[in-house]
Structure 1
Amino acid sequence: MAPYYSKKRKTIMTSSPPADSKSTAYAYGLEIINVYGVIEPTSDLQINMQHSVAAVESILNYRFKNKSLLEAALTHSSITDGLCYERLEFLGDAVIGLAISNFVYVNYPHLDPGQLSKIRAANISTEKLARVAVQHQLYKYVRHNKATVLSDKVREFVNAVEKEEYTVVHGGQMRAPKVLADIVESIAAAVYVDCRYDLQLMWPIIKDLLEPLVMLDVLEKQPQPITMLFEACQREGKRLDIKHRRKGEKDIASVYVDGVFIAYGSSETKENAKLHAAEAALSKLKLLKTEDAMLTHTFSGVNEDADIEAAKRKVHELCNKKKWGKPTYRIDQELGPAHDKRYVSSVQIETSDKIFRGIGKERSKIKDAENSAASVIFCSLQNSDYV
């Protein structure tokens, strides 16, 4: 094999060139003489792509067997040389959804389909994936027509996310640009194809990229504000209206309860404006409820070690009968080592003027801990003057 070298550096490469020797030589940013003795010019695009592939491989902690897959995943449609991430983005959208579904289904057998759907939706949303692109600065490695991709909206979103003090689950102050989510989806698909379509091989690599995943505990701390607001008004038998108007580039949403203005929120999109308005309204209504001296009654310490069979169902039926709010469960404590976990659950029921809370006993399974909490509150309510 003839030697190859950098013409300007005058650096003789005496070893046989690797399969992608052209790309390796381009990394020097100079003309090269290939193995056939022909001078080939370099290009800034090729130099940048070589750097981008290496950088993203480092972020993923994964080396591609077929680097052209990652090159395509990092090429926007504004580049017209044949490569583009659109097909990979199409595949990646489905692959991430399937991988997340598989992960939560296997690891959280106690969750019902509604809870599983909430977790999946939170982790495959444009909002979440766009933030992943910002977190790892993946947008810096995309080959593109700058005027098309690196718009003011992308820069503004990056700046907004970097200033956030806590993880945003349901929507920030501005709309997440879809192009950022597309980047993550196309990279996920590139890994999937490079792993010979093996989801089990692909998932650990992409899971690390998506971390921290939005799990049930986060969703419970930051529940969907609009759903919470509708449920709160429904429990109280009140009429909820959310009205929209446009002011310049902002959408303004106003919340009315029984015709009375409560709060408003604004954003670039109608959806996020509604979210922010609902959050503001919930805070206002919660304050008003506190001022109305709403009482909380906590039950615990039931002596019987045996739990009532089907206690959760019985509590649910009691709430329906009394027209109370739907009981909500949460895990208050997680005890013991990983191989011998113990859980303490609580359940809360809201009425028009009271909150009932039951705290269960330690149990080895989450569903049993929830049933224990249900047993406590059911027995306590049955033996009290409240029912």
Structure 2
Amino acid sequence: MDPVEKIPKIDPVEAVEKILKYSFSNKSLLKDALLFSREKPETARVQFLGEAALAQAFTNHLFLAYPNLEPKELTDLRSSNVNGEKFARAAVNHGLFQFIIGDVDTHTATRVKNFTEAVRKEDDPGPYALGRSRIVKATPAILGDIVESVAGAVYIDVNYDVRRLWEICRGIFEPIYTFDDMRRQPQIIATLYRIAEKYGKRVQIRQSQGADGLFKVAVYLDDEFIAGGVPKPTAKQAKLAAARDALSKLSESMVIEMVMDDDNLDIDIDDARKKLIEICKKRKWPCPTYKVWNRNNQGYACSVSIETTGEEETLSIMGERRKRKNISQDAAASLMIRALKYVYKDDL
């Protein structure tokens, strides 16, 4: 059967109630939530409510489940669970698209079909399956919209009780990404830089902050715009969103092999020097020192050295040549972090 084929013989409301294992007191709420039409703005309002309610439900769950995590770690973990791709996968796993009431344009239906087929063909359907092999087709927004809209209808039906919403909807989001899953996530930005190096291109990540305080990031390869993520509360979140969108765009014309880091050593080249300083402070070493050479006006090469307190004494490593001085320092720091990972393993 076609992965997104409509099944008109089944009542959509009854089918979704079975998926949720919940019977609506006001079934018209669910019916309206499944009606995607430009003439039905109320659906967008319910979707808006559902998005906010799910964010609150996940926040409560993670706050109680991880009493020792820092706010930043909780924020990152929530972002891993509350996003369009995660919701779209939930819609695919439970076949929600087929229960939309009304006609969907051919272009949208085709994108949903391609995404659905790509997800179902994945070898590893577990957390971060997207990053474990290749970037699949771009996520159709309508899939995430369905989940948010249905959640909004549930939230209203349970009289705006977040705890009850979580009890009803939690099952469709399984597996819920855990802190251990997050530690094993694919290195999105490292993958982007590796692809650029492979094809001899230069990555540019341009960042701006709007009057609303949100960060917007755009990714360029050799000054050619590739993708721009949606605005995010923090610069790091915006950078990851833009890099993920860029990889999705590039996957349309090339095979993307993700860089994985099971030890969760963040080797984002833009943050490498900062990360290396943190490692040195943790081990009570002096801060790293850098030496930079201009190679016949063809770029900069940099070495980084660390004075250790053990038998190793001084550790040094030379980074690859870069067009800009500061990037050559970041590249050297990134290589030093990789080297330290193999020397000290879990003691970083």
Q: Which has the larger radius of gyration?
A: 1
Work out the number of aligned pairs and report it. Answer: 238
Distance in 2 separating the partners of 1:126 and 1:153? 15
| TM-score, reference length from structure 1 | 0.52
Partner of 1:321: 287
How far off is 1:175 after superposition?
0.8
User: SS in structure 2 opposite 1:89?
Assistant: helix
Change beyond 3 A, Cα 1:352–1:138:
closer
Partner of 2:15: 55
1:226 aligns with 2:184: no
Between the two structures, name the one with larger relative contact order (CA 8 Å, sep ≥ 6): 2
Partner of 1:156: 114
Residue identity matched to 1:220: R
Distance in 2 separating the partners of 1:204 and 1:313? 41
1:174 to 126, 137, 156: 137
Cα pair 1:229 1:278 within 8 Å, conserved? no
Gaps of 5+ in 2: 1-6, 195-200, 205-219, 228-242, 261-277, 290-304, 307-334
Gaps of 5+ in 1: 1-46, 232-238, 253-266, 284-311, 326-348, 360-376, 379-387
1:199 aligns with 2:162: yes
Distance in 1 separating the partners of 2:101 and 2:19? 17
Alpha-carbon deviations, 1:1-30, whole Å to 9, x = none?
xxxxxxxxxxxxxxxxxxxxxxxxxxxxxx
| Within-5 A mapping of 1:1-387 | 51-78=11-38, 80=39, 84-147=42-105, 151-167=109-125, 168-169=129-130, 172-226=135-189, 241=203, 243-244=220-221, 270-273=246-249, 280=257, 282=259, 316=282, 318=284, 321-322=287-288, 351=337, 353-354=339-340, 355-357=342-344, 377=347
User: SS in structure 1 opposite 2:64?
Assistant: helix
Q: Give me the identity figure in percent.
A: 29
How far off is 1:130 after superposition?
0.7
How far off is 1:270 after superposition?
2.8
How far off is 1:281 after superposition?
7.8
Residue identity matched to 2:20: L
Partner of 2:297: none
Distance in 2 separating the partners of 1:316 and 1:275? 39
How far off is 1:273 after superposition?
4.0
Partner of 1:13: none
Alpha-carbon deviations, 1:333-372, whole Å to 9, x = none?
xxxxxxxxxxxxxxxx96464433366xxxxxxxxxxxxx
| TM-score, reference length from structure 2 | 0.57
Distance in 2 separating the partners of 1:130 and 1:157? 9
How far off is 1:219 after superposition?
2.0
Residue identity matched to 1:72: D
Cα pair 2:85 2:139 within 8 Å, conserved? yes
Alpha-carbon deviations, 1:188-214, whole Å to 9, x = none?
111111111011111111111111112
Distance in 2 separating the partners of 1:199 and 1:161? 30
Change beyond 3 A, Cα 1:351–1:143:
closer
Partner of 1:23: none
Alpha-carbon deviations, 1:278-311, whole Å to 9, x = none?
964848xxxxxxxxxxxxxxxxxxxxxxxxxxxx
